[in-house]
Chain A
Amino acid sequence: MSGTDAIPEFPKRSAADGADVSLTNMSALTSGPGVRSLWEVAAIAAVAVLIIGGAEFLLRFFQVPHYVLPPPSTIFMALITEFPHIAPHLGHTLVELLAGFAIGASIGLVMAAVITQVPFLEKIIAPYILLLVTTPMLALVPLLILRLGFGYEPRIVAVALAAGPMVMINAATGFRRVDSAKIALARSYGASTLQIFWKIRAPMALPMILVGLMIGAIFGLLTAVGAEMVGGGFGLGNRLTTYSSMIQMPQFFAVVLILSILGILIYMLFFLIGKKWASWEA
């Protein structure tokens, strides 16, 4: 039986191990804001009306000056009238976000897939990944600008640095979720390591990968805007600094609103992908 040494042994695991009940579980994404009843939708809308209406009323009633906080209606008006001027900046921010995210997420995914196959390597690298995750990449932006100038490049690098480790750490959690019985199943049919990766490990990891991609994208957005605030004359972050320095608060808050909407769109995108491809876990 010496020929079977190539077959690794699988640590015993209870079935419960497969369904880890962590905060970062995919169910947060798929079963969170799931299908809502009409009544719930109405209630959410009512709360929104109450908050916006209440703010509008209070701000006007107490005559809070616009440079402190403009009422919602003024912000909406500014959003509409100022949008043609903001749109190109939105485009710049999106370019940085997409490029940086694509680079960071790809590297993060590949690294997660590779290091989880080699437990020793993973142990060595883990502290550095943690360092990358916890270090605010924004802190590096002045340095990046010094090296790469005032164009897209430093921002794209910053976004990649912010998104990559987030994607990686979550994807690695996913890839680590080995279900020895499922791998044994594939092996019993003679599956190769590559087949086991694509047909068992990757689908098992997908929910966590999606969580990582979502968190990475949101961190990427924050970092892109932050980097734009540091230097270079374009992007939504630049608009924030410009408008606030000119005390154009309605326009300023219009940009804040756009950023909120961007964040929600990112969340919804991954929520829908999760719903379609990873709902088996919920």
Chain B
Amino acid sequence: MTAEIRTSDGELLSVKLKKVERRRRTTAFLLAAPLLFFIVFAYVIPIFQMLGRSIDNAEMNSFLTETHEVMQTWDGSEMPGEDVTSTFYYELKTAVENKYHGKIATRLNYEKGGFTSLIKKTSRKLKNFDENANFLDQFIDVHKKWGDIEYWQALKRGTDAYHFRKYLTTFDYEQRFDGSIERIPEKLRINVTLWLRTIFVAVGVTFCCFILAYPISHLLSVLPTRYSNLLMICVLLPFWTSLLVRTSSWMVLLQKQGVLNDTLVSLGFVADESRLELMYNMTGTFIAMTQILLPFMVLPLYSVMKTISPSLMRAATSMGATPFHAFRKIYFPLTYAGISAGSILVFVLAIGYYITPALVGGAKGILISNRIAYHMQQSLDWSLATAMATVLLIAVLVVYWLYNKIVGIDNMRLG
């Protein structure tokens, strides 16, 4: 063992070092603290709230607590007894008095179609009920659907405090009351189509961006600064234009009587009666999204290309490589970091886009994020919206994970 080393003021070296290091770490932490704090409150907590909401049904459970409780002893194989029906009657009556039966109807309708009208009709007739007679019979009198055991099963299930069924809906599956999991009827399937379309659009747009951005970035990296700045402004212009201005300019440009079609017709490339459909279809979606996301591909590519010395290509050609061979073997591999960073950026942004594609792409521009927005804003089925958002989030994380596996996150160059 060597003797303990001490600093010149007599302290143990290891202790002193720790002290100095701690001060440095504290400073570093304090510098990062505001951002950390912000991220936790603006990002981490909301994400966990979102995860929670996707399985949370507590409100519904609180509306019909007692019904839910008595139904626990009911096995669902035959029609429920009076204990269940009477409890439900009284709780529904309270709901009608307090005007939240609409919410009950909406929520139960997620479990089984037809519940909205069932609850509403029942609510209207509730005041005519004889509280001393058989409740089940009276329910069936009001609406024959109450005679269908599936509605009672849906009621039992629909008042669970939490459940994971929204995740099945996310992929167009449903859980039957016997517990089996099946695909929903073909005509109602929507989400899988949209997931696939979203991935297709995201991959396609990433590819289009790559094809367009590569030569532009190269040009930017070799032009003298005064020209490259001008070109960079052109590339970044979409960043500085408001969404509405951009969208309306696409309309002017792309519609049937738009600038592009007019030009093609007057040049004689297309006949007047067969003008190109550039909007309200996939073409429109691709054009719009590619334009918006192009800078996210250009910037990382540019920053990588800027660091590639022109003498490398010269060296390669001086050794006898044709310009193409030199590009393929030397220049292109050196831009991998930029390509992958740009691609992942564009891809991740593309799968989250929704306003632009829907405006320019019409029905074909509806992507999974439009569905999330639809459930957030229109149907108000926030559980489903958050379940879908969670799946989207996981998809993005998987992409990052794959990226890290294949390329390594350290190799990413964002410009």
**Chains A and B come from one and the same complex:** no
